[in-house]
Amino acid sequence: MRPGMVSRLSLGGARVAWLLSLPALVIFVAVVIIPLAMTALLSFHDWGQYKGIEPVLILKNWREVLTDPYFREMFARTFRIASLVTLITALLGAPEAYILNRMRSPWRGIFLLVILGPLLISVVARTLGWALLFGGNSGVANQALMHLGLIQGPLPFMFTEIGVVVALSHVLLPFLVLAVWAALQRIDVQVENAATSLGAGHLTVLRRIVLPQAMPGVLSGAIIVFALAASAFATPAIIGGRRLKVAATLAYDEFLNTLNWPLGAAVAVLLLLALVAVILGCNALIERRYAEAFR
């Protein structure tokens, strides 16, 4: 082959690659980039009860969102809930994935289905299940517990942070289990035997050998859960309702109830920026910590 042909071929290859990814690129720009840019632009517009949206560029909304303690409380609550949910799913999901990975062949498939099955059901339906169980005096679980005399009144679940955390943890647990399971599957089974033969007990093997190798999976699962929990809408809307707002339900209310679109846009963009910052930060941390051993 002549030397010139290589570059011409690869040049043609690059053009073909661009051409082939064009449809996806067009859709991505049309439905993600443009609306995002418009939302960002919207957050700088002015709004009044009687004048509606005014297409000017001011920092009013941003100043309000960043300084008003009301918004600060909303964002603090959002990230508090997301952090708690991440912690709970990690504590429950990592052992769950480990047990799942140790199961024998028919049971492993069955329990994997049990864990992933809920993903096939709408988030709304799963959250409403919690509302049916603990929704005030008529909640099934509350009634049963009251009949048994274990509690005096209904458990405070609806419109509480605990309620939102519990329901969100339930909804998001499969994502963490999947991420950890993928990491565990890459571990050579003989590695645990090797540690045992060197005198390590069960707990030592778990702590010193399995956990460090599963950690990248736990962390990537945690990032997914954190992002989904912080931006979740359906579950906080149903369990928390109007009384316990988080960033996502707040933005929704500003858009559809107050009709203050620019303020809602500022909330939405701030949530996005905060999430991106958290995720990129965590990712950089993981990369630095594990690059040496895990490529």
What is the contact surface with other proteins in residues (CB under 8 A)?
A: 188, 190-191, 193-201, 204, 208-209, 212-213, 290, 292-295
Q: Of 80 and 202, which has the nearer Cβ to other proteins?
A: 202
Q: Kindly state the tokens that stand for 265.
A: 């846009």
Shortest reach from residue 188's CB to other proteins, in Å: 5
Q: Beta strand pairing status for 52-54 and 46-48?
A: antiparallel
Ramachandran quadrant class, 52 (left: phi over 0; alpha: psi -120 to 50; beta: rest)? left
What DSSP state is assigned to residue 148? T
Shortest reach from residue 219's CB to other proteins, in Å: 13
Shortest reach from residue 90's CB to other proteins, in Å: 18
Shortest reach from residue 182's CB to other proteins, in Å: 16
Which one, of 260, 257, 231, lies nearest residue 246 by Cα?
231
CA distance linking residue 179 with residue 97, whole number of Å: 9
Half-sphere exposure of 124 (CA within 13 A, CB side): 0
Max intra-chain CA distance, the chain: 88
Q: Of 120 and 293, which has the nearer Cβ to other proteins?
A: 293
CA distance linking residue 12 with residue 10, whole number of Å: 5
Q: Of 217 and 236, which has the nearer Cβ to other proteins?
A: 217
Shortest reach from residue 201's CB to other proteins, in Å: 6
Q: Of 111 and 290, which has the nearer Cβ to other proteins?
A: 290
**What value, to the nearest 5°, has the Cα angle with vertex 42 and ends 40 and 47?**
145
Shortest reach from residue 225's CB to other proteins, in Å: 23
**8 A C-beta contact, residue 139 and residue 132:** yes
Q: Of 105 and 137, which has the nearer Cβ to other proteins?
A: 105
Shortest reach from residue 211's CB to other proteins, in Å: 10
How many angstroms separate the Cα of 104 from the Cα of each of 101, 203, 269?
A: 8, 21, 47
**8 A C-beta contact, residue 245 and residue 253:** yes
Q: Of 82 and 195, which has the nearer Cβ to other proteins?
A: 195
Q: Of 48 and 199, which has the nearer Cβ to other proteins?
A: 199
Shortest reach from residue 65's CB to other proteins, in Å: 42
Which residues, other chains included, contact 223 with Cβ-Cβ below 8 Å and sequence gap of 6+?
A: 279, 282, 283
Q: Of 179 and 227, which has the nearer Cβ to other proteins?
A: 179
Alpha helix (H) residue ranges in 29-68: 34-42, 60-67
CA distance linking residue 245 with residue 70, whole number of Å: 11
